[in-house]
Amino acid sequence: MENQTSVSEFLLLEFSNTHQLQILHFLLFLVLYLATVTGNLLIIVAVAFDHHLHTPMYFFLMSLAIQDLGSVSAIMPKSMVNSLFNTRHISFSGCVAQFFFFMFFAGSDLSLLTVMAYDRYIAICYPLQYEMIMNRRACTQMLAGVWIFSVLNAVLHACGTFSTPFCSNVVDQFFCEIPKLLKLTCSDLNQIELGYIVFIVIIAFGCFIFTTVTYVYIFTAVLRIPSVKGRQKAFSTCLPHLTVFSIFIFTPCFSYLRPSSNTPSNLDLAFTMIYSIVPPLLNPVIYSMRNKDLKVALIKLLDLRLSSKNGSSTFLL
């Protein structure tokens, strides 16, 4: 424990030794961050203010957008600040907080996407009982269960990771990522890393199997719908969720399940950026492009804001 208490800060990965390239990284992350924030905020506002979208599916979608905002906000701002001021430092408490919130929001996304698969299953396979099963109380309890599980999961991993002594404070990643932190511990890395991977794989595999079986039933029910328009409408509500779930499940696999190296590489950085930044960025795009009701709500929202702005300009003139 003496080695651990001596670590008062960590050094994150430096994208380049050249300050101009650091500024370029800052601008790139700034554009990605603003795009992610804007897209998810539009989803949240559209669902909140359009009464036609006050259904369980959009309630969960709004929650997913909130969690995606939290996920990118936990890791990207610190990296941007470090690049802007040409530094690598993050405090020990800051690293713990970053680690905890990223694990919380990532776990929430996985759990919520699994719940959303169940919601689609009830809506398509049991449409007459949908309102009774997926009532407001049930949806609130499901979301509360998702967050409680995610908090416990994040606390478990945070305690397990930061309760061990650290022999180094150099994190070979742009945020406090658990595989890189485990490599800094003075304890038996193989047992810790193996236990972590097994735990994550079991949870992810369980969610994957549940969602896969659910969609087998969903597609079987959809193919029985006699109307072509009815089948298209059913598919239009399922395909965005299935696409988002696939991206969220498979992108981390390339990062966590491939052989690890002792030295940082551009490939490590690329895979980490893909699974941590790309899903929150693409989720609003996928849902808004494939979902007609949400697309209409977003168009109304943007038209309303544009009309309000033009009205204010006319008043000022």
- Please check whether residue 76 is in contact with residue 32, taking contact to mean a CB–CB distance below 8 angstroms: yes
Average pLDDT over residues 142-170: 90
Average pLDDT over residues 122-128: 92
Give the pLDDT band (50/70/90) at residue 314: very low
Burial class from Cβ neighbours inside 10 Å (0-12, 13-18, 19+) for residue 254 reads: middle
**Interatomic CA distance for residues 38 and 185, integer angstroms:** 38
Rounded to a whole number of angstroms, the distance between the first and last alpha carbons of the chain is 68
**Interatomic CA distance for residues 111 and 210, integer angstroms:** 11
pLDDT for 213 beyond 70? yes
85-94, 99-108, 114-123, 185-194: range with lowest mean pLDDT: 185-194
Give the pLDDT band (50/70/90) at residue 306: low
Handedness of CA 102, 108, 114, 119 (dihedral sign): negative
pLDDT for 172 beyond 60? yes
pLDDT for 167 beyond 50? yes
pLDDT for 311 beyond 80? no
Higher pLDDT, 317 or 176: 176
pLDDT for 117 beyond 90? yes
Average pLDDT over residues 83-89: 90
CATH superfamily for domain 14-316? Rhodopsin 7-helix transmembrane proteins (1.20.1070.10)
Average pLDDT over residues 30-55: 92
pLDDT for 293 beyond 70? yes
pLDDT score for 1: 40
- The reported pTM is 0.87
For residue 116 the two structure tokens come to 């959303």
pLDDT for 245 beyond 50? yes
Domain coordinates of the chain in residue numbers? 14-316
Give the pLDDT band (50/70/90) at residue 265: low
pLDDT for 230 beyond 60? yes
pLDDT for 22 beyond 70? yes
Write down the mean pLDDT value for the chain: 85
pLDDT for 246 beyond 70? yes
